[in-house]
A and B are shown apart, each in its own frame.
Chain A
Amino acid sequence: MVTGQGRIESIVRVWLPVGFFLVLALFPFYWMAITSIKPNAELYNRNVMPLIVHAPTLKHYVDLLTKTSFLLWTWNTMLVAIVATAISLVLGAMLAYPLARMRFAGAGLIAMTVAAIYLVPQPLLFIPLADVINRLDLGNTLTSVILTYPTMLVPFCAWLLLGYFKTVPKELEEAARIDGASRLQTMRRIFLPLCTPGFISAGIFAFTLSQNEFLYALIFLTKTTVRTVPVGVIAELIRGDVFYWGQLMAGALLGSIPVALIYSFFVEHYVAGLTTGSVKG
């Protein structure tokens, strides 16, 4: 099959379209990366060829890390994402387990409600929520976003975990019940340890969504010290009409790395979660 014609055909049928989509998907990241290591003299000179770097420099990274609070924003983002994800996994599992395993009046209604809440986009709620956060005196605290991110993540985790829980066979739980274990013991000691892959999937998605969140962080966090990366980058690296493109691109690249790393480790879980058709697009 390695005839010359077969190879040409495979290039045309496979690599022409796939290559097109790859270039389209990756060019902005390439542009981000090379902009971040170009000296300003090169960035703002229209007479040099822009697609390659002529005199690479790390100046923008040094400036970003020493002259802005980028490291602090990264810490805030991580802290918020991890705590919000943990809360959402716990609360999500508490919703999903009864819905997956128990028979009780109202189960259908609760499942519908959770699914509907999962689909409510933030812009529908941000104005009243801003007022609620103000009245609770939580403005400019990380607590404000740690509390509000789970409003989108809990229904999401519950829905994803519900799907996973239903695929786990019931026999072990039934055996534990016959041996006299209570429902709570059965759930915690027998059932949940079987569901690690489901929790990893839901956890990665929740973490990614937390890192991506912008609207609540923009409204609730207006002080440098409590900002997350997306808000910090937008609010403090764009000063009026002045754009620090080198630093902006360095920040965008560094800010993308945690998500990209986690994603690269768990890409199969991620794709599996995506293709159950239950992820926000």
Chain B
Amino acid sequence: MTAASERLPALAQAAHRPASLGALLDRESVFSWLMMALPLAFLAALVGYPFLYGILLSLQDRPVARVGTFVGLKNFLTDLRDPIFWQVAINTFVYTGVATALKMVGGLGLALAMNQHFRMKNLVRALLLLPFIVPTVLSTVAWMWMLDPAFSVVNRLLVALGWPRPGPSWLGNPALAMVSIIVINTWRGLPFYGITLLAGLQTVPPELYEAATIDGAGGWQRFRFVTLPLLRPIILIVTLFSVIFTFADFQLVYVLTHGGPQNATNLFATYAFDIAMGAGQLGLGASIALAMLPALALLIVALTIYMRRN
């Protein structure tokens, strides 16, 4: 009895001893912030700082390798008076809108086709994902050769099917060049939609289809009233992702058309690159890149909130 009562205060004292460094480091908040300090400092230095510095640059007249002078909103006003800027804006929205719609519809088709029982399904799924995993630049070079003005295999097939020689000028005609970049972006992104939606489809309980069938629903009605509502969250997330990275696309267009012919395929990213790296106007280039910000910020905030909620 006495021994126990003597020991208790000693224990209590030990528990309250804050002097030990180990105990301090073991606090949840101290441990967490120490652990996160390095990655957070890294991101602050190489994402946060460049982002703010980009805003500062966009307010400067800043030729490459020279000191910038503050010019306020002059660069943005220059953009607004620049007909190419407006064409770039329209191009970017058309490219993003059409490619996203095609990927969504095609991806849903792919997912529905794959959501059946057949042999070698895993192999087929692995092969279908190849366009998405192979480095974009390399597959785009292959497409460039497929659409070559003189030796296009696409045109040779078209001519063999009766199209008048020499066939369409895929990369030389402004409208067709836009069609080409949309097709290639769709080709690359479609497997991502397809396989992600397939995973969503596989979570739909078969009982729901059975119940719908008993209630007299046909194939289209089952798709419309069972499949689509259950897939909606996945479709939304995949689409937001895809829209963000299509909107800010650079490499496909840079490799295939350099934004030509006559700026017909120039997007915000490629135009900002031309002005900043080609013409050496860092300030003006930064202002063009930042013109993407309002639309991107809206999408990023929407998706971040949505991802956090799930």
Contact with A along B133-164 (1 / 0, CB 8 A): 11111110111011010110100100000000
> Of A124, A183, A211, A215, which contacts B54 at CB under 8 A?
A124
Q: Does A75 contact B (CB under 8 A)?
A: no
The interface residues of chain A lying within 8 Å CB-to-CB of B250 are: 122-123, 214-215
Q: Nearest Cβ in chain A — how far from B125, in angstroms? A: 7
- In whole angstroms, how far apart are the Cα atoms of A29 and B145 in the complex? 12
Chain A to chain B: the 3 pairs with minimum beta-carbon distance, closest first: A121-B248, A123-B269, A275-B199
Report B266-310 residues with CB < 8 Å from chain A CB. Answer: 268-269, 272-273, 276-277, 282, 285-286, 289-290, 292-293, 296, 299-301, 303-304, 307-308
Given A14-B118, A117-B43, A124-B293: A233 and B127 interface contact (C-beta under 8 Å): no
Mostly, the A contact residues are: helix
Given contacts A21-B113, A212-B135, 10 further A-B contacts (CB under 8 A): A32-B139, A102-B29, A123-B269, A124-B51, A182-B22, A214-B135, A253-B138, A271-B195, A275-B199, A277-B238
Query: B14 CB to closest chain A CB, in angstroms?
Result: 13
* Interface size range of chain B in the complex: 35 or more
| A128/B57 in contact, CB under 8 A | yes
Which of A18, A231, A264 is B118 in contact with, Cβ under 8 Å? A18
| Interface status of A39 (Cβ within 8 A of chain B) | no
Q: Does A200 contact B (CB under 8 A)?
A: no
Partner of A125, one of B51, B109, B134, B304: B51
A239 within 8 A of B: no
- Interface residues of A toward B: which range? 35 or more
Cβ B113 vs Cβ A125 within 8 A: no
B234 within 8 A of A: yes
Tell yes or no: A194 within 8 A of B by CB: no
Q: Which of A17, A22, A32, A119 has the most CB of B within 10 A?
A: A119
Q: Does B47 contact A (CB under 8 A)?
A: yes
On B, residues with C-beta under 8 Å from A are 22, 25-26, 28-29, 31-33, 35-36, 38-40, 42-43, 46-47, 49-51, 53-54, 57, 109-110, 112-114, 116, 118, 122, 124-139, 141-143, 145-146, 148, 150-151, 153, 156, 187, 189, 191-196, 199-200, 234, 237-238, 241-242, 244-245, 247-248, 250-251, 254-255, 268-269, 272-273, 276-277, 282, 285-286, 289-290, 292-293, 296, 299-301, 303-304, 307-308
Chain B interface, >50% SS class: helix
Q: Note all chain B residues with C-beta closer than 8 A to A116.
A: 300-301, 304
Does A24 have its Cβ within 8 Å of any Cβ on chain B? yes
Determine the distance from Cα of A50 to Cα of B109 in the docked complex, in whole angstroms.
30
Within A12-55, the residues touching B (CB, 8 Å) are 13-15, 17-18, 21-22, 24-26, 28-29, 31-32, 35, 43-44, 46, 50-51
Residue in contact with B142 in the complex, picked from A50, A147, A249, A278, CB distance below 8 Å: A249
Q: Does A61 reach chain B (CB closer than 8 Å)? A: no
Q: Which of B33, B135, B273 contacts A256 (CB 8 A)?
A: B135
Q: Which residues of B contact A253 (CB under 8 A)?
A: 138
Q: Which B residues are in CB contact (< 8 Å) with A124?
A: 51, 54, 248, 289-290, 292-293, 296
Of residues 235 through 281 on chain A, the ones whose CB sits less than 8 Å from some CB of chain B are 243, 245, 248-249, 251-253, 255-256, 259-260, 263-264, 267, 270-271, 274-275, 277-281
Residue of A nearest to B236 (CB): A277
Instruction: Provide the bound-state CA to CA distance between A183 and B138, in Å.
Output: 46
Answer yes or no: A98 CB below 8 A from chain B CBs. yes
Residues of B within 8 A of A97 (CB): 35
| B192:A279 contact, CB within 8 angstroms | yes
Please give, as numbers and ranges, the residues of chain A lying within 8 Å of B307 by CB-CB distance.
115, 278
Closest residue of chain B to A124 (Cβ to Cβ) is B289
Contacts of A279 in B (CB 8 A): 192, 241
Judged by a CB distance under 8 angstroms, whether A150 is at the interface is: yes
- Alpha-carbon gap, A233 to B141, bound state (A): 9
Does A68 lie at the interface of the complex (its beta carbon under 8 Å from any beta carbon of B)?
no
Return B307 CB to nearest CB of chain A, in Å.
6
A148 on the interface (CB 8 Å rule)?
yes
What is the count of residue pairs linking A and B with beta-carbon distances less than 8 angstroms? 284
Between B153, B238, B299, the greatest number of chain A beta carbons within 10 A of the residue's beta carbon is seen for B153
Q: In chain B, what residue has the closest Cβ to A117?
A: B47
Given contacts A98-B36, A115-B304, contact A127 B289 (CB under 8 A): yes
Q: Are A129 and B46 in contact (CB under 8 A)?
A: yes
Q: Which residues of B lie under 8 Å from residue A150 when comparing CB positions?
A: 42, 46
12 contacts between A and B (CB under 8 A): A14-B118, A15-B118, A21-B110, A28-B143, A91-B39, A98-B33, A107-B32, A130-B282, A183-B28, A211-B135, A214-B136, A243-B145
Whether the pair A17, B113 counts as a contact (CB closer than 8 A) is yes
Which of A25, A97, A111, A245 counts the most chain B CB atoms within 10 A?
A25
| Interface check A151, CB cutoff 8 A | yes
Q: Is the CB of B39 within 8 A of A154?
A: yes
| A142 sits at the interface (CB 8 A) | no
A16: nearest chain-B partner, CB-CB = B113
- Contacts A14-B113, A124-B51 known; A259 to B277 CB distance under 8 Å? no
> Taking the complex as formed, is A192 at the interface, i.e. its CB lies under 8 A from any CB of chain B?
no
Knowing A15-B118, A279-B192, say if A151 contacts B57 (CB, 8 Å): no
Complex: how many Å from CA A10 to CA B237? 32
Is A219's beta carbon under 8 Å from chain B? Answer: yes
Q: How far is the CB of A108 from chain B (nearest CB, A)?
A: 8
How far is the CB of A103 from the nearest CB of chain B, in Å?
Answer: 6
CB proximity of A152 to chain B, nearest CB, Å: 9
